[in-house]
Structure 1
Amino acid sequence: MEGFDEVVAKALDDFQVPGVGIGVIVDGHLVYAKGIGYRDLENKVPVTPDTLFAIGSCTKAFTAFIVGSLIDEGLLSWDEFVIDVLPEFRLWDQYATQNLKIRDLLTHRTGMPRHDFMWYNSALTRLEVMKRLRFLEPSLDIRERYQYNNLMYLTAGYAIEQMTGKTWEEIVIGRILKPLGMNHTNFSIDAMQQSHDFSYPYLERGKQLRRIPFRNISVIGPAGSINSSVNDLAQWIQMQMNRGVFNDQILISPSTLQEMHSPQVIIPGVPESKESLLYAYGIGWAILSYKGHYYVSHDGGVDGFTSVVGFLPHEKVGLIILCNKNLTTLPRYLSLQIIDKILNIPSVDWLAEGVDGIRKYQETMKEKRAHEDMMRKKGTNPSHALEEYVGEYEHPGYGKVNIDLVDGKLRATFNGIACLLDHWHYDIFTVSDEAQDLIISLEGMKFTFRNSIDGEIAELTIPFEPTANDVVYKRKPTEVLSTTAYLRQFVGNYEIYGYTVEIILRDRTLAAIIPGQPCYELVPHGENEFTVKSMTGYTVRFIMDPERNLVEEVLLIQPYGAFRAKPKNLP
């Protein structure tokens, strides 16, 4: 690795990365363990081999390993049905619910797209996330194709907790961290910042590099919350290459580990280069054929950190690359540069390729913005005054979005994330500014408001998941429209064409009783207006006498017409 420090230092400058921790293992020995650059850029504090970084999705191999250890004990099998382990488990699709297997959770072939914004920055517990899975729409059939998903690793972690009676964190400590002597590794941003040697997270926006706050992702822990260092992860990789043995202790059987390192599903898409023509996913690991060499690895990315952890089992070469910049491609290209150097094979200038890739990406994004602006219908206006968009919108899986008005602009807030909305065209608004830095910026995302049949704003749709349908949030009535005092004013008997319609109040809910028909529940929709539950296009509107504050008449609005009912015994 002679002269490599200078290569890395230049790469940090080219990729605009503050610091990196690098570990290289050859034939059971950690031959290179260094920190280059800064873990604290502002105070020029250097990275060391013990500096903690968030490793993101490299955590998935730890969760898969725990499942493998339970399989070795006969408590589980790769092909056991999830619902047999978690009877409360439910997905959108009943067939998937009944037939999904543990293997499917860990190989990203459940048919479920990422749906990351349903949990990102939320205060939900793992159990609460589990209960919401049934409301998240799939984009593929079960086992149709590889589709990366963090929520299914959360599900696997939750299953581990239910089977063992311990938290996922406790199990990982007992079965992996302690036996391997990974004494500095932890699971939370609080524990990380209590360490004497940790890195701050950084992000580049507008060609400016700046420190950002740590992001708490503990809820999705089994998919990505581990924080570790080069020296600690070297032990983990040593054990992987030594077929599950560390210091003469067998932590997992070779056959189980081999299953995890074997391709389970092809990752679709055109190969990134002619050096890597086959890309697959194992169980917690990605598998790549790199220049004819079997390469097992995983990338990781959380707010302000990016990493690669991998090994070539046949050559007994392992590598760890930990960076403190948001979604940088440096670890990927640096890993390939290291492999070429260690194996002494003809090398592509991967770092130059990476820099060129950044340039091409920036050009593509510039063209995309220009094209998007051409698609905008200029000179249009919203269908309502901005005040009328204000309110609370809700989706059973994604939760709530609050829309309010700030200095003449709409502001959307979800999971504690606030962003300003500029009018785009018609009833579509675009995210123009974010109150905090996110792992993936929402700027430019389109929020679409929809009107009900009576012309009132009823829904908000957001394309949070690009491979599935837009998420549809239903507008909630204001709290005052659901109070008993408010609802009581509509109770009474009303006459229409000689029939009596009785409006009653039952369990803080209005209902309409019509002779010879079922009881219809009325759902608050707006001031003095209700929709009929489970009946599209049916609305009940109470017309009030403003002087006496009494019901003057009732409009029964149906898809084929509107009918008037008068109060009986009107004083």
Structure 2
Amino acid sequence: MKRVFIFFAFSLLFTTRGWAQATGRSTFLRDSLDIYVNKALTQWRVPGLAICIVKDGRIVLMKGYGTRELGLQERIDENTLFMLGEITEAFTTTAFAKLEANKTLSLNDKITRYLPSFKLDNKASEVTINDLLTHRAGFKTNQGNFTFYNTSLTTQQVIDKIGHIKPVYPFRATYGYTNSAYAVAAEVIPKVTGRPWYIYLKESLFIPLGMNNTLPLSQELPLVLNRTVPHTIVEGRLTPIPYPQLDNLAAGLSISSTMGDMSKWMMALLNNGKVGARQVIPEIAIKTTLHELTGNQPSASTQENEQFGLGWFLQDYAGRNLVMRNGKVSGYSSSITLVPQENLGILIMTNTDKNELPEALRWQILDTYFNFPYHNYSDSYLDRYKANDANEQQVKRRMRDSVFLNPPPAQALVNYTGRYVNDVYGHVNVSVGEGNTLEMRLEHHPKMFVKLQPMGGNRFYATFSEPIYGKSAFTFVYQAGRITSVRIKVSDAVETDAYDFKKID
């Protein structure tokens, strides 16, 4: 899943403290980092964190903090696995750039050359590999994510359903992040190599780089002993949650890795693709992914001074080019940053999705290396996070208060029951639940249900059994003496738009 990157620290730097240099900032990593991180883990309620810094071709810092799972004393070491989320995209784009460097394909090739059945709002014949990898197909950020994320759909079913989605924006008019775009693009790889995406990544990147612990598919993570457990906040409490199943969107989300393996990845990228004397990744491929703004027209800019290239956000910071990526999926939040001019790489991984510490710590470390005056980014990010969370909780309290008044629904509960269908998602079933409630089951989320409590009229307070989908108000439509449809809304973190389902029985 993608949250649009808000370059909070960049504006903070200019509005709070200027560019004056500080004395002794280089001692932060040696003398203060442990205190800073341990305090931040408590404040953010993060069970475990891994941090790795590489500089000038060597590992400067590799350290784990906290624990792999809340309540257990299992320490995090250099081989402990975390899910990377959208950081996966950088591996996929590097694989494509490598194939282009070897003349196997061109990023400007039309997708339909390899996937003739691909459909996209009458624009399929124009869509290139590059359009999908730079998120310029016209979709709104996270459009379709409710249908695709952590569902039982296969990758081919995801691709088929994309043909039913109406893009919000004109083709190539603007940036709109969608995991499904990478799912489509990755299906080109077996067409040109004879190997699926995950096998090609293993053979062309992981094995040559010595990334022996890295897993390309989410289904593999629960089978490994040295792994973290995902966590989130449920009803104000930090709690472990099941591992998300993301292999239908694998090329954009599913990789899990370790500090040890990611140090090798960062050093190879910063060394123009070389590992020792071996050229594992062609230098031209590194240039394509790290330096060229492949989506550099104004329409591809997501923030001022920020561009999205091939799987990376590219940003100027105090005259230095930053190459960055955040990753966030159910139970995990991470960030990776490269500064090619400084030969510097920073990785932070956490095993909860309810924190922004990886971003805050990124800027803390960058400022240390750039010798900028000290500012506690974790505190600033936390203040903003708490303010936003308080607003969200207030909205939820208002909805819960409506439920506690025990208002009768406009119709007998049985009148809301039945089967509802949406052209993109598929169908859901509504039945009478325990007490004065309804229960909804969803076709492509077989392990999830939604509890619906009357709020008065035809509105119901919806609580998803999987926390990431949140809580919201569902509205049923009553026309011509019967219930005709229901509008379903999930958390904005999954998808911002609602889905309308038509009642069919």
The two structures share one fold, judged by TM-score above 0.5: yes
Q: What is the deviation of 1:168?
A: 1.1
Asked if 1:193 is matched to 2:219, the reply is: no
The residue that corresponds to 2:105 in the other structure is 76
Q: What is the deviation of 1:190?
A: 4.5
Asked if 1:458 is matched to 2:484, the reply is: yes
* Pairing partner for 1:358 from 371, 385, 390: 385
The residue that corresponds to 2:30 in the other structure is 2
Query: Secondary structure of the equivalent of 2:174?
Result: coil
* Pairing partner for 1:427 from 458, 461, 477: 458
* Pairing partner for 2:502 from 458, 469, 474: 474
Describe the shift of the 1:268–1:364 C-alpha distance in structure 2 as closer, same or farther (beyond 3 A).
farther
TM-score (norm 1): 0.76
Asked if 1:17 is matched to 2:17, the reply is: no
The residue that corresponds to 1:546 in the other structure is none
Distance 1:85 1:24 in 2: 40
Counterpart mapping for 1:28-177 below 5 A: 28-91=57-120, 93-94=121-122, 96-113=123-140, 114=142, 115-177=144-206
Describe the shift of the 1:468–1:49 C-alpha distance in structure 2 as closer, same or farther (beyond 3 A).
closer
* Pairing partner for 1:348 from 370, 375, 395: 375
Q: What is the deviation of 1:44?
A: 1.3
Give the conservation status (yes or no) of the 8 Å contact 1:177–1:185. Answer: yes
Letter in structure 1 aligned against 2:486: L
Describe the shift of the 1:123–1:33 C-alpha distance in structure 2 as closer, same or farther (beyond 3 A).
same
Q: What is the deviation of 1:279?
A: 1.6
Describe the shift of the 1:151–1:412 C-alpha distance in structure 2 as closer, same or farther (beyond 3 A).
same
Distance 2:379 2:69 in 1: 26
Give the conservation status (yes or no) of the 8 Å contact 2:402–2:455. Answer: no
Letter in structure 2 aligned against 1:450: V
The residue that corresponds to 1:442 in the other structure is 470
From the CA coordinates, give the structure whose radius of gyration is larger.
1
Counterpart mapping for 1:411-426 below 5 A: 411-414=439-442, 415-416=445-446, 417-426=448-457
Counterpart mapping for 1:223-302 below 5 A: 223-261=252-290, 262-263=292-293, 264-265=295-296, 278-302=305-329
Distance 2:234 2:407 in 1: 31
Superposed CA deviations along residues 315-364 of structure 1, whole A, max 9, x for unmatched, are 10001111011141010001111111123223332122122122222232
Give the conservation status (yes or no) of the 8 Å contact 2:86–2:327. Answer: yes
Describe the shift of the 1:389–1:198 C-alpha distance in structure 2 as closer, same or farther (beyond 3 A).
same
Superposed CA deviations along residues 515-555 of structure 1, whole A, max 9, x for unmatched, are xxxxxxxxxxxxxxxxxxxxxxxxxxxxxxxxxxxxxxxxx
Query: Secondary structure of the equivalent of 2:43?
Result: helix
Superposed CA deviations along residues 174-227 of structure 1, whole A, max 9, x for unmatched, are 111000000001134453233331111111233321111111111111111001
Describe the shift of the 1:413–1:300 C-alpha distance in structure 2 as closer, same or farther (beyond 3 A).
same
Superposed CA deviations along residues 63-111 of structure 1, whole A, max 9, x for unmatched, are 11111111112222122221222111102x11x2221111110111111
Distance 1:196 1:372 in 2: 42
Distance 2:112 2:219 in 1: 34
Distance 2:301 2:289 in 1: 19
Structure 1 or 2: more helix by fraction: 2
> What is the RMSD of the two structures over their aligned residues, measured on CA atoms?
2.4
Describe the shift of the 1:279–1:68 C-alpha distance in structure 2 as closer, same or farther (beyond 3 A).
same
- Point out the more displaced range, 155-164 or 225-234: 155-164
Query: Secondary structure of the equivalent of 1:2?
Result: helix
Superposed CA deviations along residues 93-132 of structure 1, whole A, max 9, x for unmatched, are 11x2221111110111111132111022321111111111
Letter in structure 2 aligned against 1:456: R
Describe the shift of the 1:451–1:371 C-alpha distance in structure 2 as closer, same or farther (beyond 3 A).
closer
Give the conservation status (yes or no) of the 8 Å contact 2:399–2:455. Answer: no
Query: Secondary structure of the equivalent of 2:307?
Result: strand
Give the conservation status (yes or no) of the 8 Å contact 1:19–1:37. Answer: yes
Distance 1:349 1:151 in 2: 36
Distance 2:307 2:232 in 1: 30
The residue that corresponds to 2:4 in the other structure is none
Structure 1 or 2: more strand by fraction: 1
Q: What is the deviation of 1:18?
A: 0.8
Gap regions ≥5 residues in structure 1: 272-276, 478-571
Letter in structure 1 aligned against 2:465: A
* Pairing partner for 2:350 from 323, 327, 330: 323
Distance 1:189 1:126 in 2: 14
TM-score (norm 2): 0.86
Q: What is the deviation of 1:371?
A: 7.3
The size of the alignment, in residue pairs, is 463
Query: Secondary structure of the equivalent of 2:98?
Result: helix
Q: What is the deviation of 1:387?
A: 0.6
Q: What is the deviation of 1:429?
A: 2.1
Distance 2:38 2:151 in 1: 37
Q: Which of 1 and 2 has higher RCO (CA within 8 Å, sep 6+)?
A: 2
Describe the shift of the 1:62–1:327 C-alpha distance in structure 2 as closer, same or farther (beyond 3 A).
farther
Query: Secondary structure of the equivalent of 2:342?
Result: coil
